[in-house]
């Protein structure tokens, strides 16, 4: 797990919460606990990534320098803040000065204010002194980690954005551990959170992230983390039989140019689903590329199978929107075979495709050039 992943997760979570219609008081509490969680790690100050959202929701409370509890003790230093773009104030009170700030997308914010975050030590002092009152002075709520994460993921689909889901699934036991008092947690909330996080698309994304994926041996003697991760570990035991997971792995291998591994996984996929078009195409494509580069020996029967696979896809080439990628991979597979004359029938059909879709040839040449440069280096 790297610190930038924690920072990205908190940023994405704050963004998501700010898009949901929840009570501002609840929102301030949620953001406070997210940054408190981030502070447990060696992370940077990341408010400026979501500066507009924090200003709009009222989490960052603006002050004049003279309103800081330590102003009387060091007027000169506080008055010099106007010369700075950004400055931290000394602890234990804390706070920070924002002059001219550049947001995440390069937008300039001319603020020239001292700020304290809701729930911070400076906020506590200002509440006790009477400087803050009303809504902004309402006390912190007890953190309920189940409800917090549920509010974050409830309004977004795990299929569209697995990042939030698998990161919170992986880090949730740590959030619970850092929570002194979770309050009462209903069974309904626990069930809904599990239903939203314990899904194949979430587990697939988690398994592919070596930094975040839990290891079963690490939790054998820990009751809660072990219980929490049990659905993931159970899924891992059967993942080799998950065609969609194999397909994602094959695509990744293909992108990296590891055609031998792609061939092996495609063959494994065909054992699970003999008629699966995806596995057939990538098996045939990997086979021809490896033969063309003399990485594996040429076998006539294998190439006849590959030609049959390619011809099957060519039957559907009229529907350009659906088969553009198929045409591209077909072309990519067959052109290197010219070097030794294999799969002539498929090559002839691919040549016809190039005549119809000139861009295919441009794409292939660019990709082939990159591969050759990588091989030469």
Per-residue pLDDT of the chain in tens (377 residues, 90 and over written 9): 567 888 999 999 999 898 887 789 999 999 999 999 998 888 889 999 999 999 999 999 999 999 998 889 889 988 899 899 999 887 777 789 999 998 887 888 999 999 999 999 999 999 999 999 999 999 998 888 888 999 888 877 766 678 899 999 999 988 888 776 556 677 888 899 999 999 888 988 898 888 888 888 877 777 778 889 999 998 888 876 777 778 878 888 877 778 888 888 888 888 888 877 778 878 887 887 787 677 888 777 777 777 777 666 655 544 444 444 555 555 555 544 444 344 455 555 555 655 555 554 455 455 445 545 655 55
Residue-level pLDDT at 339: 41
Burial letters 170-205, b for 16+ CB under 10 A, else e: bbbbebbeebeeeeeeeeeeeebbeebbbbebbbbb
Do the beta carbons of residue 122 and residue 94 sit within 8 Å?
A: yes
Q: Is the pTM of this model over 0.85?
A: no
Q: By three-state DSSP, how is residue 247 classified?
A: helix
Torsion-angle region of 98 (φ positive above 0: left; ψ -120 to 50: alpha; else: beta): beta
Rounded to 5 degrees, what are φ and ψ at 62?
Answer: -80, 145
Where in the chain are all domains bearing CATH 1.25.40?
243-376
Query: What is the CATH topology of the domain spanning 243-376?
Result: 1.25.40
Cβ burial of 358 (10 Å; 0-12, 13-18, 19+) is exposed
The H or E element containing residue 112 is strand 108-117
| CA dist., res. 31 & res. 351, Å (int) | 58
Find the radius of gyration of the CA atoms of the chain. 28
Tokens found for residue 305: 């199978």
pLDDT, residue 167, reads 93
φ, ψ (nearest 5 deg) of residue 181: -140, 105
The alpha-helical segments, DSSP class H, found in the chain are 3-19, 24-38, 51-57, 75-79, 121-129, 145-153, 162-177, 187-197, 200-207, 223-238, 243-256, 259-272, 277-292, 300-314, 320-334, 344-356, 358-376
pLDDT at 372: 52
* pLDDT value of position 324: 47
CA-CA distance, 40 to 115, in Å (whole number)? 22
Which residue is listed with tokens 């995440």? Answer: 104
């Amino acid at each position: 797990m790297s610190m930038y992943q924690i920072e990205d997760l908190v940023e994405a979570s704050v963004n998501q919460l700010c898009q949901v219609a929840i009570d501002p008081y609840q929102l301030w509490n949620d953001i406070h606990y997210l940054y408190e969680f981030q502070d447990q790690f060696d992370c940077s100050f990341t408010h400026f990534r979501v500066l507009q959202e924090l200003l709009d929701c009222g989490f960052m409370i603006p002050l004049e320098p003279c309103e800081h509890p330590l102003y009387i003790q060091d007027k000169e230093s506080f008055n010099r803040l106007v010369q700075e773009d950004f400055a931290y104030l000394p602890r234990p009170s804390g706070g920070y000065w924002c002059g001219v700030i550049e947001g995440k997308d390069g937008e300039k914010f001319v603020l020239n204010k001292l700020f304290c975050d809701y729930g911070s030590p400076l906020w506590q002092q200002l509440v006790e002194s009477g400087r803050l009152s009303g809504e902004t002075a309402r006390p912190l709520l007890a953190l309920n980690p189940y409800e917090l994460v549920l509010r974050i993921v409830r309004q977004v689909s795990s299929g569209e954005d697995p990042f939030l889901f698998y990161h919170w699934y992986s880090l949730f036991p740590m959030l619970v551990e850092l929570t002194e008092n979770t309050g009462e947690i209903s069974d309904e909330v626990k069930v809904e959170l599990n239903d939203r996080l314990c899904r194949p698309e979430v587990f697939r994304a988690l398994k592919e992230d070596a930094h975040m994926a839990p290891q079963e041996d690490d939790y054998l003697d820990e009751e809660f983390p072990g219980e929490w991760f049990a659905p993931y570990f159970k899924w891992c035991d059967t993942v080799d039989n998950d065609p969609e997971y194999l397909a994602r792995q094959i695509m990744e291998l293909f992108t990296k140019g590891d055609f031998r591994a792609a061939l092996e996984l495609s063959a494994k996929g065909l054992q699970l689903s003999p008629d699966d078009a995806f596995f057939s195409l990538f098996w045939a494509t990997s086979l021809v590329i490896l033969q063309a580069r003399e990485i594996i020996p040429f076998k006539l029967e294998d190439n006849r199978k590959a030609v049959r696979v390619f011809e099957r896809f060519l039957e559907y080439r009229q529907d350009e929107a659906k088969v553009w990628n198929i045409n591209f991979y077909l072309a990519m597979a067959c052109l290197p075979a010219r070097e030794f004359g294999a799969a002539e029938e498929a090559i002839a059909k691919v040549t016809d495709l190039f005549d119809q879709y000139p861009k295919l040839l441009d794409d292939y040449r660019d990709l082939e050039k990159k591969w050759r440069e990588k091989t030469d280096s």
